[in-house]
Amino acid sequence: MKIETVVNGHKRIFDITPDELLADTLKRYDYTSVRKGCDTTSCGVCTILVDGSPVPSCAYLTARAEGKEITTVEGIAEEAERLAEHFGDEGADQCGFCNPGIALSVHALKLSRKSFTEENLRHYLVGHLCRCSGYQSQIKAIQRYLGDAK
């Protein structure tokens, strides 16, 4: 079956199987920033934005993305670069495997214009697992990034 969608601002038509999941489709169509980790919605590595909301692409039916706007890290390159600078400054970057998913969730948070305490931020990011950092430096970097964005 074919579906029409918009990925990073560009109209795309995907040829998919009925039970295909979005992470597989995006990888097949060369959106290489989309990663698969646990493949069971637990780790957050595969996070993308659908109509501006973070979703686990490893469990999101591609067929349901018909007519929706999809954003991967390729679509927020400048913002991701800014966040990466803060990650570097805080020493939050190690293997970097979780970064694309976190960048997209943080971008969605920024667009929501909600004000967040550190506790809220930690709760918001519960769905992103990082096996390197211990989270403290990431939280600091994200707070600085969101502070700059105000």
Q: What residue ranges bind another protein (CB under 8 A)?
A: 1, 18-19, 21, 39-42, 44, 47, 53-56, 58-61, 63-64, 66, 105, 123-129
Between 51 and 91, name the residue whose CB sits nearer to another protein: 51
Q: How far is the CB of 17 from another protein (least distance, A)?
A: 9
Q: How far is the CB of 29 from another protein (least distance, A)?
A: 19
Q: How far is the CB of 94 from another protein (least distance, A)?
A: 20
| Burial status of residue 31 (CB atoms within 10 A of its CB: 0-12, 13-18, 19 or more) | buried
Question: Is the Cα dihedral 17, 64, 114, 111 positive or negative?
Answer: positive
DSSP H or E stretch at residue 53: strand 53-56
Q: 35 - beta bridge partners?
A: none
Between 32 and 64, name the residue whose CB sits nearer to another protein: 64
Between 61 and 111, name the residue whose CB sits nearer to another protein: 61
Q: Strand, helix or coil at 15? A: strand
